[in-house]
Chain A
């Protein structure tokens, strides 16, 4: 038996939606604003930044092993982030990388 609804049915979607608002909102970052790239990694210091998520430290160890074996002039420093979501207020962490490092690898996000 087919039942025919004679009344209108209301769409259950919410009244409004606004993107890029709330805790995950972020700025638009044009590519031009990325840092200048290095000419080479040879002789440079690369910070390997472990965010603490899902075995990240082991992945950073693997990169460190590869660079140590194949590009021994590259100095690596493994570093754990001091908070789960880094903010600009954590200047000591960023200043250390700026003072001692030329580039960074950071991850592994999930």
Chain B
């Protein structure tokens, strides 16, 4: 919708072309809140357009504009031939320019009332939260050396077409709500510092993954082994949950406000948060691949649409053949793939397949994952997002577009974008595959209670509590 609005403004203002911009009636409300769309004379069809037959769309053209009640074709003709009534332009959103008080308190109340208040305000993911009392937040802040008022970053909030800014204390509040311990806070702060939202204001079903590498994995007891992606480990569960709460609480991620995903994604409950099984992996850790020292702790972020389990392992085909077959049905929009594999798979690939490094296997996959050209271009979001690259002559997409319909192309053509991560407990040689793209990594160490290079006086800063011993 923003793409249509932006182009309409250029056509109207710079080129003097009267324009009838279209979206569907699902977005009437969004149009009214959009600073671009609200100032051009948008018209609306029934929703959806995609997937409708020619006959149905012919009906849309002569049928009613759900917004005006007029026939759509009549509105098109009038929009292009009659002066636009300013009163019909929709923009109504108020400017937001606030400097909130990060210490604003809610009065003490009963646990039940406060839980209900948080739910009513949209400040939960639907699950009960740990109420962020002053005492709990102050305790959480002992997990970092950072000043509570330090600004960590900003994220985009869709409905105001603007940015929200958050402090260390804001992050600590969400860490408490998610159920974190103070020693998890540096990981959550590093995630927040990356400035990407876990849940996006998209009508599609995005999801994401958080991967932790380095010594902090074991210091805070993260699970990289059996059930690493199952709801069994506190650190994995609540660190990933805290990331989604950033969208929930800061970006007002409620349906028809900023949440527009048609089906949503249950993966957002903890965003596949896990740590790499560096001890069992035969390859270098993911963060080392990306320029970090092995003793540095990092969090890496991945996002995309598709995240799938291998139903079984490779028994009648090779691992490579099986993975190529898996990915040949997933269209990547920018050649990205992320494969999360059990250490058994990684060891087989290295010892029996001869892939001494992750990079060698990524290169092999990039050349061997193939799909017919018409399957690739037939995917809606490939047509939408990749076709423009082909039109501009950018390779290999221009060549892909010239291919015959049944000609095999290699859509995962860039080995640099095929990410391999080793996670799991070696009970079965399985993997998960996705078209998730790698969004980058953040160092965790600067957020620790004792940052790297600073001497700790008692040797206990940032470490978890020792196990409690019972009689």
Interface of A is mostly: loop
User: Which B residues are CB-close (under 8 A) to A37?
Assistant: 18, 80-84
Question: A19–B45 Cα gap in the complex (Å)?
Answer: 28
Question: A6–B80 Cα gap in the complex (Å)?
Answer: 64
Question: A30–B91 Cα gap in the complex (Å)?
Answer: 10
Q: Specify which of B3, B157, B170 is in contact with A53 (CB 8 Å cutoff).
A: B3
Is the beta-carbon distance between B7 and A18 smaller than 8 angstroms?
A: no
Is the beta-carbon distance between B81 and A109 smaller than 8 angstroms?
A: no
Question: A58–B174 Cα gap in the complex (Å)?
Answer: 45
Is the beta-carbon distance between A5 and B104 smaller than 8 angstroms?
A: no
- Please give the number of chain B residues whose Cβ is less than 8 angstroms from any Cβ of chain A in the complex: 113
Is the beta-carbon distance between A3 and B23 smaller than 8 angstroms?
A: no
Chain B window 106-132, contacts with chain A (Cβ cutoff 8 Å), 1 for yes, 0 for no:
111111101000100001000000011
Question: A14–B275 Cα gap in the complex (Å)?
Answer: 28
Task: Kindly report which residue of chain B lies nearest to residue A4, judged by CB atoms.
Answer: B110
Task: Kindly report which residue of chain A lies nearest to residue B106, judged by CB atoms.
Answer: A9
Chain B window 69-95, contacts with chain A (Cβ cutoff 8 Å), 1 for yes, 0 for no:
000010011001111101001000111
User: Which B residues are CB-close (under 8 A) to A55?
Assistant: 48-52, 380
Using a CB-CB cutoff of 8 Å, which residues 33-91 of chain A contact chain B? 33-41, 46-47, 49, 51-56, 58-59, 61-63, 65-66, 70, 80-88
Q: Specify which of A11, A38, A52, A106 is in contact with B383 (CB 8 Å cutoff).
A: A52
- The answer to whether the Cβ of B203 comes within 8 Å of any Cβ in the partner chain is yes
Is the beta-carbon distance between B106 and A19 smaller than 8 angstroms?
A: no
Q: Specify which of B80, B108, B112, B132 is in contact with A103 (CB 8 Å cutoff).
A: B80
User: Which A residues are CB-close (under 8 A) to B103?
Assistant: 10
User: Which B residues are CB-close (under 8 A) to A84?
Assistant: 3, 384-385, 388
User: Which A residues are CB-close (under 8 A) to B20?
Assistant: 103-106
Given that A4-B110, A5-B109 are contacting pairs, would A31 and B84 also be in contact in the complex, using a CB cutoff of 8 Å?
yes
User: Which A residues are CB-close (under 8 A) to B151?
Assistant: 15
Task: Kindly report which residue of chain B lies nearest to residue A66, judged by CB atoms.
Answer: B61
- The answer to whether the Cβ of B12 comes within 8 Å of any Cβ in the partner chain is yes
Question: A107–B11 Cα gap in the complex (Å)?
Answer: 13
Question: A85–B384 Cα gap in the complex (Å)?
Answer: 10
Is the beta-carbon distance between A5 and B108 smaller than 8 angstroms?
A: yes
**Within the complex, what minimum Cβ distance (angstroms) separates B302 from chain A?**
20
User: Which B residues are CB-close (under 8 A) to A87?
Assistant: 6, 10
Is the beta-carbon distance between A17 and B22 smaller than 8 angstroms?
A: no
**Within the complex, what minimum Cβ distance (angstroms) separates A41 from chain B?**
6
Is the beta-carbon distance between A109 and B156 smaller than 8 angstroms?
A: no
| B159-167, B337-345, B360-368, B453-461 - the one binding chain A | B159-167
User: Which A residues are CB-close (under 8 A) to B304?
Assistant: none
Task: Kindly report which residue of chain B lies nearest to residue A71, judged by CB atoms.
Answer: B77
Known A9-B109, A24-B34; 18 more pairs at CB < 8 Å: A8-B134, A10-B103, A12-B170, A19-B93, A24-B158, A26-B34, A35-B16, A36-B18, A51-B7, A58-B54, A59-B60, A62-B60, A82-B391, A86-B3, A88-B10, A98-B16, A109-B21, A109-B23
Would you list the 5 A-B pairs with minimal beta carbon distance, nearest first? A107-B22, A26-B36, A109-B1, A55-B50, A19-B162
**Can you list 13 A-B pairs with a CB-CB distance of less than 8 A?**
A5-B108, A7-B108, A10-B137, A12-B118, A17-B97, A17-B162, A30-B86, A35-B13, A55-B49, A94-B15, A106-B19, A110-B26, A110-B49
Residue ranges of A at the interface with B (Cβ–Cβ < 8 Å): 2-41, 46-47, 49, 51-56, 58-59, 61-63, 65-66, 70, 80-88, 94, 97-98, 101-110
